[in-house]
Structure 1
Amino acid sequence: MPLVPPVPDRHRWPDLVEVARTPIPSVSPEWTDQNVSDPGIALLEAIAWQADADLYRAGRVTERHRLKLLALLGFRPRGPRAAHAVLTVRAAAGQTTLVPAGLGLTAARPGADPAQALGLTTLTPVRPTGRSLATVGVDLGSATATGYTTGWADHTADALTGTVHEALGPDPAPGAALVLGLDGALVAGAELSLHLALGPAGPDGSDGSDDEAAGPVHHDAAIVWEAYSGTVWQPLPDAAVADATRALTRAGTVRLTLAQGVPMAGLGPLPPRAWLRCRLDRGRHDIAPVIGRITVDAVPAEVSRPAVGLLAVARGVAPTGGTPQPGQVTRLALTTDEHGAVTALRLGGDEHAGPLVRILEWKAPQGADPGRLSLEAVVAGRGDGTPEQRFRVPVEGGGPVFTDTAEVWLCAPGPTAHRVTLVPDLDASGRTDPHAVLDPGTAELSFGDGRNGAVPENGTTVLVTCATSGAPGLAVGPATPVTLDAGVRNGALLGADPPEIAFSLAVPPSGAAAAEDSAAVAARVENVLWAHDRVRGALVEGRTTSLDDLDRTAVRRLPVPERAVTLGDFERIALAAPGTWVTRARAFAETDPRLPGCKAAGCVTVVVVPGLPASRPEPTPGLLRSVREVLDTRRTLGTRVFVTGPRYVDVSVAAAIAVVPDADPAATRQAVLRALDRFLHPLAGGTEGHGWRFGRDVHRAELLGVVDAVPGVAHVGALTMTTGPDRSSCVRIPVPPDAVVASGTHTVEVLPGGER
């Protein structure tokens, strides 16, 4: 029981004095004079006053203070991020019109509240072909040579339903291909847009490495797209292919420009189709790519709506630099009067002339009638020359403003334009710095006071281009209707005679993120700063010295340390190398692969194991280079890092078994062979099924147990295991510390006479 009673919730220094005086009789009975004249009481009052002041200040820590403290650690809040979706577009029969980017769409369930509709904006132009996917298959590498009678796996049903399947087969090698058959011929000059939903990345269902930090080119595998002319496969030139899938390792859109038409033709016994294929030309993947739904005539879209402004144009105003045209994208600067009417307008110029905006509508002023200008930009207000000016950006929807893509410009009469830099706060801004703060939640734009941040001069127009999201919590699916928005925005893009087009949702929106507050930033900081301790804690809890001995899914959930200090740090960083998939990683201290058996001070060797080839995984030179580059940036000073592949110890087994009377001898024999291959597999073997541990010896007794546990085996009559070129038989096969076992050639003999 504490000697000091709890402090009242509402702190005042007299209450703190009373709290301090309460235990005096029990702690110091000789202290009887407790009047205010006593020096001890006076000291307690001074301490209580100081404590009360500290508690007051501690209770006044604001959100801004927390964010500033986190910024000192190098972490600033991230702005909101828009969700992305994939649409399909269909045009009326016979139309080959180009559907422009920037169209506004609405996705809403029937009968739903209009305020809960989801606003979408298309990101790329597309010319719909009107074709559909009719056949999807995988050429395992020999289908072309055999006329598609063997070496062919049909995955049409999987592709149409979105079921994940292997894109290039279970163990792809150069020559393997993903083959797509469309239900109609493609004319010369056609532009085909495909979206490939690739994933999940890993065989255990978890995500792979940091995809955002990886570049657009795979570190080793290279693919080519080809079209079937009716007799031969013809590769498409690089200029005709825009592939965002990084050799089929991440979801993305593929745009193919077909200079020559693709006729309907048959492939061996396959029905006539317009055939395209994605073939592995050289190199190798880390694991076998998997793919889900394939969308034809795909249009990437973002869950966002650009801010649109409608401005009156004062009488007598004539634009300079050209006449605005609906649908035109141009640099623009303008000024307005106190009533919001445009008093000066300039088009064109370089990147310093104003924001890049799309003109939606233009009506020149006629006589006494004012004109009208509609554009994808809004006027937030006019500067008045006073400090700390605040403006409310007029956006619709109620969702957050995407500050990462927003632009703010100050336009002075003339007009001349100056871009404003958006910053998290103005604390470090100088008196002449054109800085401002845009709050993503309230859409409030804040300028400086002349000491921290420049003040907008009197008469300047604040021009803003930005986008906002709709209803981020709305759940939609492939059956949700998608309609074109009515208004000047789509009218300007589609023209006076819009084509008959229809959109449908192929891949529902995903990837949205709200703006971070101090709690979210603090959680991110904690995840980074405590990454090393969490890796170490996992090793202590697992009673091991290597992450390779733990469950792979649990290991991949651990944060990635920023600095490689321990061997566990090296292993976790190697597993998360951007753009790669390392299935296993084992680090060894004081080891130099060039000096086997010698102690190399200051050296760390990391052995990485990918997922391919399936029976004997070996890292490619590109994978080794990628992992080494990442580890080299995170190693401690003075440490030399080497990255290599594993050494293998081949183990072959010869066994004689007796089967139970009702078992099929041939099937039982095959089951024994599969059990031996699985137990001795470097990725799925071992007693726990996580792969054979590095440096773990192979014992004959374990193999006897594996064979005996196969259903249908009555008993094992004999079993020998061999390794090495001399094929010597032994009861224990030693495995070096940096090596794992691989399954060799096994022979299984079924003894006559059944069970004994």
Structure 2
Amino acid sequence: MPLPEINLDDRTFEQLYQELIRRIPAYTPEWTDLNDSDPGVTLVQLFAWLAEILVYRINQVPQKNFIKFLELVGIPLTAPSPAVTELQFTLVPKASATSVLAGTQVALGSGSSGQQVVFETDFDLLVTGLTLVSVQSYNGLQFTDYTAANALYASLGYPPLSVTPQANAALYLGFDNTFPAGTNRLTIHVAQGPTPAPVQGGVGTPTLAAPSVEANWQYWNGQWTQLQVQNDTTSALTKSGYVTFTAPTDGQLQQFGLLTKPGDQPLFWIRYFIQSLVGSGYDNVPMLSGILLDTVSATNSVTETAELLGASNGRPNQTFQLANFPILSGTIAVDDGNGYAPWTEVDDFDGYTAMSQVYTLDDATGLVTFGDGIHGGIPPRLPGNGSNLDSADQTNVMATTYKWGGGAAANSGANTITTLLASIPNLQGVSNPLPSYGGADEESVQDAEDSAPMILRTQNRAVTVSDFAFLATQTPGAQIKRAQAFPLLNPNFRVLSSVIDGSPRVEVPIPGAVTVFVIPDSLQLPPVPSENTLQLVANYLDARRLLTCELYVAPPHYRQVRIEVQVVANPAFDLGTVGDAVLKQLLVYFNPLPPGGANKTGWDFGGTIYFAETYRQIFNVTGVLLIKGTLQTYVDSVLQTPCTDVSIMPDEIVYSANHGVIVTYS
């Protein structure tokens, strides 16, 4: 974002002068001649004038200098990141297949506020209009129907290859017709489950792991024939991804599995078939939450092309402004008389010469800057009609292409991205079956000020537990909001409270082990990191840990809190308004993310639930007169002893999804 205008001191010359005059009797009571003709008053006016100049200079530089200092030591403000999602397109009834090209724009529905939030599709998509009629799992002996589970998109998921995947096991997918000619796409989502398992650093990433089985995709054409798969990113159905394949021309409709009765509809079948196991096979049974048709990934960005920025005047340090920002990526080209040629974006001009075709781009403001002819080249001036006037010069600086967008406003719920910005033949609509995620605003100056000392202190090395926790939150792309590290802890054990003083005590201390619990910046309750997020953080920390450290990254141990209370409202206030306010106050208070907890930084790990503080949170709501009866606290659905504090373990943290609030006037 552009740096804000700072005004540390807004006093004028007259105000400074009058303040000095008022202080004279306190310091020099013998000085009584305060007329303008007095030499001392002349000196006071001189100092007030000098002070006004200093105040002006001070107001120009503090935060700007701070940010520049950070950039000089390699700590720029974190740029905004775009949200990502998956879009599912639908055809009008009985329409033929339609292509949706990469870059097709879709926006949040009319319910969104402010500037329109636009997503662009990342790849070309052939919208088939087919229906996935049947999803069946085969364990080598019998079929199990998971069609309903696939449609529900349940978080716990279903086993596509049975609970004990063996050779000859298969996942059968039955469609109401054959696929249209061209490249088709299936999107496959692996079930998250209630809580992912901890991940150990330094043991490799799942995407690089060897497959657990030898298997392939096949289709039915009178016999099972191998499908021409172009790309499969699912790692043998263990990771969310997609399968793209060339549609066969000889597919046949057939009854299969549990659909072999006389009245059952013949379907077109493809299957994922296990030929043999590799070693012992899968370490964990694959679980899917859903298989989707006609979906493609999309990113919150807008692509601009061939945007003319202006004409070079041949002078040093020229700047040009892009029409849209913040910038996610882009390329600037300059015409030297022989056509446009791309120049190279650099962080600064140090080390470059007058012949270097480089420029800098401020992603936050969209400002393009060229060199001074000594450090960094100057775009040549192209006269347009022989005039020396700059306005007559030929335009020769252009943004050939750039993407702009990003920000937290693009994080939205499921089925909210529904507006096509351009009409496409045969398309009926579009939606996002899952929430969009990953969008983040540019780092604020205040956040940079808060994090810079830790960045300088850690120097990208994790030694202390605070280093591990801080660096976990800095993992690129992970969107980690909070982290807590515990030394000597292997996640197979727990951190207990000492019976002597309540301090943290590891159940079984493991020398050299460190476990980092991470909480993502997520809208779900509770905010649980995915397995990919855990692996991303583990890989990032693994490169920064000590050689002898045994690193684990794990999701938090959550405890759900529910408060049941009867509130008496002030008769001057509406009951519904007071009830909603009390509910919101409790949901915010019992929240692991800011502004949760008493300090509004998120509930502390191991933080005691003080009954008196719960009462205070309720009484802080405007319109609450008193609490009737006894407030009841439930932790994991277990009623706690009234009017007593509830202690939790040091590695636990609370959240709440709902509370029972009754509001009356008496």
TM-score range, shorter chain: 0.5 to 0.7
Structure 1 partner of 2:438: 511
Q: Deviations over 1:307-355 (max 9, x none)?
A: 2xxxxxxxxxxxxxxxxxxxxxxxxxxxxxxxxxxxxxxxxxxxxxxxx
| Preserved CA contact (<8 Å) 2:312 2:381 | yes
Q: Deviations over 1:69-94 (max 9, x none)?
A: 11133222344433333223345788
Alignment of 1:67-86 (within 5 A): 67-86=67-86
Query: Compared with structure 1, are the counterparts of its residues 575 and 220 closer, same or farther at alpha carbon in structure 2 (3 Å cutoff)?
Result: farther
Give the secondary structure class of the aligned counterpart of 1:160.
helix
Give the secondary structure class of the aligned counterpart of 1:450.
coil
Query: Compared with structure 1, are the counterparts of its residues 88 and 204 closer, same or farther at alpha carbon in structure 2 (3 Å cutoff)?
Result: closer
Displacement of 1:410 in angstroms is 0.6
Structure 2 partner of 1:383: 312
CA distance in 1, matches of 2:477, 2:204: 5
Structure with bigger gyration radius: 1
CA distance in 2, matches of 1:515, 1:629: 24
Of residues 399, 409, 412, the one that matches 1:464 is 399
Q: Deviations over 1:346-370 (max 9, x none)?
A: xxxxxxxxxxxxxxxxxxxxxxxxx
| Preserved CA contact (<8 Å) 1:195 1:252 | yes
Matched, 1:157 2:151: no
Displacement of 1:267 in angstroms is 1.3
Matched, 1:405 2:329: yes
Structure 2 partner of 1:257: 246
CA distance in 2, matches of 1:209, 1:588: 14
Structure 2 partner of 1:648: none
Structure 2 partner of 1:267: 257
Give the secondary structure class of the aligned counterpart of 1:377.
strand
Amino acid at match of 1:75: I
Structure 2 partner of 1:633: 543
Matched, 1:227 2:227: no
Displacement of 1:406 in angstroms is 0.8
Query: Compared with structure 1, are the counterparts of its residues 585 and 402 closer, same or farther at alpha carbon in structure 2 (3 Å cutoff)?
Result: closer
Give the secondary structure class of the aligned counterpart of 2:341.
strand
Give the secondary structure class of the aligned counterpart of 1:66.
helix
| Preserved CA contact (<8 Å) 1:136 1:178 | no
| Preserved CA contact (<8 Å) 2:82 2:405 | no
Matched, 1:277 2:280: no
CA distance in 2, matches of 1:606, 1:390: 52
Amino acid at match of 2:139: T
Alignment of 1:555-594 (within 5 A): 562-566=460-464
CA distance in 2, matches of 1:110, 1:577: 34
Query: Compared with structure 1, are the counterparts of its residues 165 and 276 closer, same or farther at alpha carbon in structure 2 (3 Å cutoff)?
Result: farther
Give the secondary structure class of the aligned counterpart of 1:102.
coil
Structure 2 partner of 1:181: 173
Of residues 422, 432, 437, the one that matches 1:485 is 422
CA distance in 1, matches of 2:154, 2:514: 34
Alignment of 1:652-691 (within 5 A): none
Displacement of 1:197 in angstroms is 4.0
CA distance in 2, matches of 1:281, 1:256: 24
Give the secondary structure class of the aligned counterpart of 2:67.
helix
Displacement of 1:21 in angstroms is 8.3
CA distance in 1, matches of 2:21, 2:238: 69
| Preserved CA contact (<8 Å) 1:227 1:236 | yes
Of residues 291, 296, 300, the one that matches 2:297 is 300
Give the secondary structure class of the aligned counterpart of 1:159.
helix
Amino acid at match of 1:127: L
Structure 1 partner of 2:187: 195
Matched, 1:66 2:3: no
Give the secondary structure class of the aligned counterpart of 1:266.
coil
CA distance in 1, matches of 2:441, 2:206: 26
Structure 1 partner of 2:123: 124
Amino acid at match of 1:226: W
Give the secondary structure class of the aligned counterpart of 2:60.
coil
How many residue pairs are counted as aligned between the two chains?
481
Matched, 1:243 2:232: yes
Query: Compared with structure 1, are the counterparts of its residues 588 and 110 closer, same or farther at alpha carbon in structure 2 (3 Å cutoff)?
Result: closer
| Preserved CA contact (<8 Å) 2:164 2:285 | no
Query: Compared with structure 1, are the counterparts of its residues 76 and 506 closer, same or farther at alpha carbon in structure 2 (3 Å cutoff)?
Result: same
CA distance in 2, matches of 1:219, 1:22: 81
Between the aligned residues of both structures, percent identity stands at 21
CA distance in 1, matches of 2:538, 2:9: 58
Query: Compared with structure 1, are the counterparts of its residues 608 and 565 closer, same or farther at alpha carbon in structure 2 (3 Å cutoff)?
Result: closer
CA distance in 2, matches of 1:383, 1:281: 65
CA distance in 1, matches of 2:212, 2:471: 25
Displacement of 1:409 in angstroms is 0.6
Query: Compared with structure 1, are the counterparts of its residues 406 and 446 closer, same or farther at alpha carbon in structure 2 (3 Å cutoff)?
Result: same
Query: Compared with structure 1, are the counterparts of its residues 455 and 469 closer, same or farther at alpha carbon in structure 2 (3 Å cutoff)?
Result: closer
Displacement of 1:145 in angstroms is 2.4
Displacement of 1:123 in angstroms is 2.2
CA distance in 2, matches of 1:286, 1:92: 43
Amino acid at match of 1:483: L
Displacement of 1:296 in angstroms is 0.3
CA distance in 2, matches of 1:284, 1:418: 53
| Preserved CA contact (<8 Å) 1:243 1:255 | yes
| Preserved CA contact (<8 Å) 2:406 2:439 | no
Give the secondary structure class of the aligned counterpart of 2:463.
coil
Displacement of 1:22 in angstroms is 8.9
Displacement of 1:9 in angstroms is 7.1
CA distance in 2, matches of 1:178, 1:32: 102
Structure 2 partner of 1:434: 357
Of residues 159, 162, 176, the one that matches 1:168 is 159
Give the secondary structure class of the aligned counterpart of 1:563.
coil
Query: Compared with structure 1, are the counterparts of its residues 439 and 528 closer, same or farther at alpha carbon in structure 2 (3 Å cutoff)?
Result: closer
| Preserved CA contact (<8 Å) 1:166 1:289 | no
| Preserved CA contact (<8 Å) 1:117 1:471 | no
Query: Compared with structure 1, are the counterparts of its residues 521 and 268 closer, same or farther at alpha carbon in structure 2 (3 Å cutoff)?
Result: same
Displacement of 1:574 in angstroms is 10
Of residues 348, 373, 376, the one that matches 1:453 is 376
Displacement of 1:447 in angstroms is 2.7
Q: Deviations over 1:384-429 (max 9, x none)?
A: 2123333344x5xxxx4363421101122232x4322234555776
Q: Where do 5+ consecutive residues of structure 1 fail to align?
A: 1-6, 26-30, 37-43, 308-375, 491-498, 533-560, 590-602, 611-624, 645-689, 691-756
| Preserved CA contact (<8 Å) 1:133 1:180 | no
| Preserved CA contact (<8 Å) 2:89 2:427 | yes
| TM-score, scaled relative to structure 1 | 0.49
Q: Where do 5+ consecutive residues of structure 2 fail to align?
A: 1-7, 35-43, 383-394, 479-483, 490-509, 518-534, 553-604, 606-666
Amino acid at match of 1:156: T
| Preserved CA contact (<8 Å) 1:627 1:643 | no
Structure 1 partner of 2:504: none
Q: Deviations over 1:200-252 (max 9, x none)?
A: 4x744799899xx9968243554645335389876657xx2423345556543
Structure 2 partner of 1:147: 142
Structure 2 partner of 1:102: 102
CA distance in 2, matches of 1:50, 1:178: 83
Amino acid at match of 1:101: L
CA distance in 1, matches of 2:206, 2:21: 68
CA distance in 1, matches of 2:64, 2:190: 41
Displacement of 1:461 in angstroms is 1.4
| Preserved CA contact (<8 Å) 1:218 1:246 | no
| TM-score, scaled relative to structure 2 | 0.54
Structure 2 partner of 1:41: none
Query: Compared with structure 1, are the counterparts of its residues 247 and 569 closer, same or farther at alpha carbon in structure 2 (3 Å cutoff)?
Result: farther
| Preserved CA contact (<8 Å) 2:356 2:377 | yes
